[in-house]
Chain A
């Protein structure tokens, strides 16, 4: 509860700061402090210190898993702002507004980690998406940014429409908006699942798959990620996407699982996973621009996160937390380096190891983590995901597919490393300040630390 209220309140404060404070560079510091307080507030909430006692009538339900995810999301955002805050200042005219919108997105994220009602799910998704439409189009003079924003807005509102239709239909089928349905209530046919509910859940599945950009609903992703200002792509591809997964998993673990007897949902998930891995990985191989490659790689990574839907056991829940942390941190790092590059193509990275050795080395760590090489957080993230599916005893073929595509992903991640270290060239960057380098080193250190001791993060789930 702390995080939801504080993030909204800080958003408003930040918004008012936009005309109260003249000096542009102050916004970054205010946002960092706000995020730090938010993080502390959320941790306090985790250990029972709730600042606001509000009865939500069962519309929100806070548990350790969701609160730990909040901490990961807020912490990643804090690192993101500390590392790339300077670039956010350069993204456009309205600097304070960008931080405001980021805080509002966090409000949506914290709602999504705690929703217990389809209405709050809808609210969370919308609070999360609407600021993103604006952030995507924040580079007003750039046609590509405008195109991306319009495309994102139109497709996003269409999928929102589907979601509302789905919620309406499930309401028609069950007579309640709450996530958990009392199946033996007197007004329901005992043991029967309404056709309307199944149709509604199918609509919900489609719209959630759209939000997390799972194939075959991924078509907006490359254009939007490519067109949006790089700093904001970084935010969209990491924290927001992970929050979408948390919401998706909760929906599947409760509602889809209840209707398992009628529909073989797991087979639908399996098809989506294979399609997502196939489209993401194979298309990423053919990209010439690193930014666009990262867009497709985010689709491919979404495929891995979707494995949770199949397993839905303790290991899977641990895995998705580790995955969102590993993926978010690594992607934030890669984008932080990317925005400093003058040329976003693979050739633009040629010889970066000679001109900027620190950037090249840390970027290598991030790329290794994304491809899932041991001693980086990405390895354990992928390991948890696959091992959780193995534990269920079924779907071994899916695990094998996952491993194969992880191997494919190594190809395009290593192309960047190859360009940085083994190709002749003179990679041009904008000016790099020492504090940025230290930030990158810290980020890389966290990733390696999590890669050696994943329990450093996961033990917070239990005490």
Chain B
């Protein structure tokens, strides 16, 4: 009871002692974790094999190096992404004014998309998205 009163008093005084409970909690939390880790390391069983040091690949044996260059036509993909990303941006103002623009606006947006689709057909037919040459 006196301890609780002490805490309440310090809380009212709003001093550094105010944070004592938090400090105690952090100390216990770190102390508990550290103790458990050290104890399990000393007391638990150990099986040292070379397999355990390998990269985990869902149980399949690993082959090759992960750090080898792979040909993604990044520039082309990025440019095409920008193209269609910008297309989406143009939809926002249309969506906001959807009702006001009515059928005329719908016709125009369809025309816009049709132009873009022509471009899309073009890049697919030209093989811009074929990654393997």
**A→B interface (CB under 8 Å):** 12, 15-16, 18-19
Contact = CB atoms under 8 A, between A and B. Distances in A.
Contacts of A19: 122, 125-126
Interface of B: 115, 118-119, 121-122, 125-126
A12 B118 CA distance: 7
A119 B126 CA distance: 33
A104 B8 CA distance: 78
Nearest to B114: A12
A254 B118 CA distance: 38
DSSP majority for the B interface?
Answer: helix
Contacts of B125: 19
A386 to B, nearest CB: 46
13 contacts: A12-B115, A12-B118, A15-B118, A15-B119, A15-B122, A16-B118, A16-B121, A16-B122, A18-B122, A18-B126, A19-B122, A19-B125, A19-B126
Contacts of B118: 12, 15-16
Nearest to B115: A12
Interface of A is mostly: helix
Contacts of A18: 122, 126
A383 B115 CA distance: 46
A18 B122 CA distance: 8
A18 B125 CA distance: 9
A19 B121 CA distance: 10
B127 to A, nearest CB: 9
A16 B118 CA distance: 7
A15 B125 CA distance: 11
A19 B119 CA distance: 12
A406 B127 CA distance: 52
Contacts of B121: 16
A53 to B, nearest CB: 12
A418 B69 CA distance: 59
Of the listed residues B119, B122, B125, the one surrounded by the most CB atoms of chain A closer than 10 A to its CB is B122
B107 to A, nearest CB: 12
A16 B122 CA distance: 6
A62 B125 CA distance: 38
A444 B126 CA distance: 40
9 tightest Cβ-Cβ pairs between the two chains A and B: A19-B125, A12-B118, A15-B122, A16-B118, A19-B126, A16-B122, A12-B115, A16-B121, A15-B118
A445 to B, nearest CB: 40
B83 to A, nearest CB: 13
